[in-house]
Structure 1
């Protein structure tokens, strides 16, 4: 038979097989069903998400401690209305900001899993320092060091999970991080509520009432440290990035619970390899003089700012983190007891109890996010949450304005405001609470993924720092205007999600370039064509659906 006809038949066969694989991948379930069908991905994601638990616990534990009588005696400048209270809360965010930025090169050099281990060393040391603090300096240093570990974890955990999960459950798997964050906040709230009674609520309260909540988090940190070394597998994408192709192939097969000979594993491995080759070829052609790791790292950061399609992604990732913080969530988490007191709920135990309900709601609301984010898409869920959060802010602010001086006479108004504060937390948790971690972790090419995620998470933490520092002043001087301000930010989130965000649901990480375009897209297409030819891949005859290129 004519060899040309034979080649055409072989090419058509490859196309048909890849189209079949694409249809099979699209048919794979997402959400809880998808996670349950991939128990090893679920298990590894849950283990890695202990990092999210530590993140949430560290955020939640401080609010209850600040109102304990024995803590206020030991640290009068921090507890109660002390002049250093804002800094005591916010210094953790400074450490987290530094940890998120500095962990990017570590995640590339040491691997995702070993950078998780290293982060837990910082967290463990900081937790021990805080639990044993004898003065303000010791407390501040401990919060700074543990914050550094939290920042590292908040950057690398979603990165790791997004790289080991298949596209059909990637959003659901990364959502487990937010579930863990919410669980950490809830455990911290209720532990604070319980330990406040050790020795009584008054002058007899024991110092262990606040030392115990600060100490117990060292245990899950130790668990994650050991698990990251001995249990978690390497990311196959990282292995491919550093040239360990055989190991990457082996790990991918184990993650998918399929033999390496399975066509689905081979197809995904080819996609991962093509993506890694594209990054390597791009670096060599654009930066032939970059010989060392430091030179390459500098070029990568420069690429993020100068390549239009990358700078658009970086803006989206960073702006989403800013809007997450400006929604007001961490103002509620850090200062919930004070907020409940401000809207008329009296007594430390009442405000702590109301705050504990926030923890429960935060966890319960995150569970449906795991089911819907890969079914209905990131944008739809984000808009729904933003609209509902806006309503909550407006109601709370209006009640605050109307009953600010008469809460005692109208307790129902105070409890109504509390209910809408709880509704705000509910709508935050399933929407921007999850998606602000999913979206940045999935939209960047492999070569700059760690650097971009480090920057975006760093922006989250510096925004978090400013909110933590300014919230006491806002509650004191703006009062109900604080909630109107946060409401205007959630309106902005809704409009921005509606008009500007491309949908990433079900899109393979190696296919994200099709969403963003840019001046370099033709060069990228030419490079990818050469790579496909080298690997013997016929790229689907361009039959993929048209993806919208979004301008910002």
Structure 2
């Protein structure tokens, strides 16, 4: 995060909580109500992860192919079925800001759970391709909402000393969902056998010689049943129903209560989440800090855009991002990061894992195991290094190390796929295929500790609070649009370009490394004033002065140096997640 200078004094909250355990260690010892509320909200992230991982395994099943032969055999249509979810997510991200602000974070989460349940149920019961598209779009809207409201909600209910640990749970929830979905699809693939024809066998992940138009027995599949693909889609409904029924009982976000003028309810919510009495100094200080942040947002809007409200105010804030040179540089930096994140090729692997492993010549048992389990475990485990060490080693090092690691992995896989061209039944072929698998693992691992989590940190750090909301909303929308593009074109690339697909992604990884090395500033421990110098404006300085004035007004007297520390350290995650309040 944008950090604190060593000379800065400690804020009042830091003084009050001095000596307490921070991060995961402190979270484990925190009150059960806070921990349970956060873990329960993470069900949303888990749902998002399962939806990412399930479809890639189902599209290549022979029973699925017999039901939807066009999707099975047409790489373009297959790409649309996969990527249309991202279009829904783009829409969900746009509508969720105003929705979460209007009806609260927890009820926005409830709406998302309902839509996800509906979309998953439509997909599970689909009889026509149109139903698959409809279900995917509806579920995508829910995914877009979830990707905003879950980290926003957790950031707003968590004390500052636990905030980083709690927000990090979102990324773990996503990778855990992907991992579970892989193993689930592996298990259900044996429903009735892996081949459509009971008298034959087929590798999990599809067979290049099986034709859904000519090889389906008369009357339909006699082997693999529809449970192989309907059951995983239906089981997605289970966590969504749990979230749908339980979300209304979660605590309200204290910040949302304050923004609605419910000051007493805000203080009571803080007391409950902290497990401290209402008159405790920690409760009072956090209450005043939230009040200062809400007043800051209101006054910033009034001073920069007088006389505007609603849609006109939103448009004015967005327009300033494109007309102010310094702000536009920051916006472009964030969008470039999201562009590169998607063109690492990670979602090409996640969405089409069976096809990727099949191109390396694996047989039935090994393909099923690798595509449904091990890759998910690798991605999950390698998320932890960023959580523990990104603040110690810096963002640039993680970005560059991840880019180089992914580039090497793509080049090796391209060489193997190009050299053997699908024929691994030659001397050394099987060993080469396994080497390719290892480098697919390395690609996933290098993404999981670098461009996966770290790409979401930097956009928050380069914007001052007064512009962060609208800017990060645009940046996240860019992420979803690039995600859609990758998901849509990958099947055709794997079919036509073959090894060239990996060369393309390797080229982007090289560009990523060079861009970070030469152009991206390090944001770890940078003050907001230092960010002003880098991008050529003074937005942070003005914001600091405005916040200092508010703090003095409500009784949180601090020196400018102390004010800056609170803004850039304790509040930056909370302010970052506030980006979803306004589009």
Q: Which TM-score band applies after superposition, normalised by the shorter structure? A: 0.7 to 0.9
Which position in structure 2 is the counterpart of 1:470? 489
Could you tell me how far 1:219 is from its partner in structure 2? 1.1
Aligned mate of 1:213, from 229, 232, 238: 232
Which position in structure 1 is the counterpart of 2:498? 479
Alignment size in residue pairs: 527
Question: What's the CA shift string for 1:410-449, capped at 9, x where partnerless?
Answer: 1101100101101211222222222334455676666665
Which position in structure 2 is the counterpart of 1:67? 60
Which position in structure 1 is the counterpart of 2:539? 520
Could you tell me how far 1:27 is from its partner in structure 2? 6.2
2:403–2:510 contact (8 Å) kept in structure 1:
yes
Could you tell me how far 1:515 is from its partner in structure 2? 4.4
Could you tell me how far 1:404 is from its partner in structure 2? 3.0
Bigger shift: residues 210-219 or 420-429: 420-429
Which position in structure 1 is the counterpart of 2:388? 371
Judged with a 3 Å threshold, the aligned counterparts in structure 2 of structure 1 residues 424 and 238 are, in CA distance, closer, same or farther, namely: same
Structural mapping, 1:110-125, within 5 Å: 110-125=103-118
- Paired with 1:176 and 1:399, the residues of 2 have a C-alpha distance of 36
Structural mapping, 1:18-57, within 5 Å: 21-22=13-14, 29-39=21-31, 40-57=33-50
Which position in structure 2 is the counterpart of 1:10? none
Bigger shift: residues 201-210 or 481-490: 481-490
Other structure's SS at 2:352 match: helix
1:31–1:371 contact (8 Å) kept in structure 2:
no
Question: What's the CA shift string for 1:480-506, capped at 9, x where partnerless?
Answer: 23223222333344444555244357x
Which position in structure 2 is the counterpart of 1:324? 341
1:100–1:455 contact (8 Å) kept in structure 2:
no
Could you tell me how far 1:339 is from its partner in structure 2? 0.8
Bigger shift: residues 482-491 or 305-314: 305-314
Aligned mate of 1:500, from 515, 520, 523: 520
- Paired with 1:101 and 1:426, the residues of 2 have a C-alpha distance of 31
Aligned mate of 2:445, from 423, 426, 429: 426
Aligned mate of 1:270, from 280, 285, 288: 288
Structural mapping, 1:286-325, within 5 Å: 286-291=304-309, 293-307=310-324, 310-325=327-342
Which position in structure 2 is the counterpart of 1:389? 406
Bigger shift: residues 241-250 or 202-211: 241-250
Which position in structure 1 is the counterpart of 2:120? 127
Could you tell me how far 1:103 is from its partner in structure 2? 1.3
Judged with a 3 Å threshold, the aligned counterparts in structure 2 of structure 1 residues 169 and 516 are, in CA distance, closer, same or farther, namely: farther
Determine if the alignment matches structure 1 residue 245 to structure 2 residue 263: yes
Which position in structure 1 is the counterpart of 2:367? 351
Give unmatched runs, 5+ long, in structure 1.
1-14
Other structure's SS at 1:407 match: coil
| Structure-2-length-normalised TM-score | 0.82
Which position in structure 2 is the counterpart of 1:151? 144
Which position in structure 1 is the counterpart of 2:577? none
1:193–1:353 contact (8 Å) kept in structure 2:
yes
Determine if the alignment matches structure 1 residue 400 to structure 2 residue 392: no
Give unmatched runs, 5+ long, in structure 2.
1-6, 198-222, 570-583
CA-based RMSD of the aligned residues comes to: 3.1
Bigger shift: residues 144-153 or 300-309: 300-309
1:67–1:80 contact (8 Å) kept in structure 2:
no
Could you tell me how far 1:116 is from its partner in structure 2? 1.2
Determine if the alignment matches structure 1 residue 539 to structure 2 residue 558: yes
1:290–1:296 contact (8 Å) kept in structure 2:
yes
1:154–1:457 contact (8 Å) kept in structure 2:
no
Question: What's the CA shift string for 1:336-357, capped at 9, x where partnerless?
Answer: 111111122244x532321121
Which position in structure 2 is the counterpart of 1:141? 134
Judged with a 3 Å threshold, the aligned counterparts in structure 2 of structure 1 residues 162 and 487 are, in CA distance, closer, same or farther, namely: farther
1:276–1:447 contact (8 Å) kept in structure 2:
no
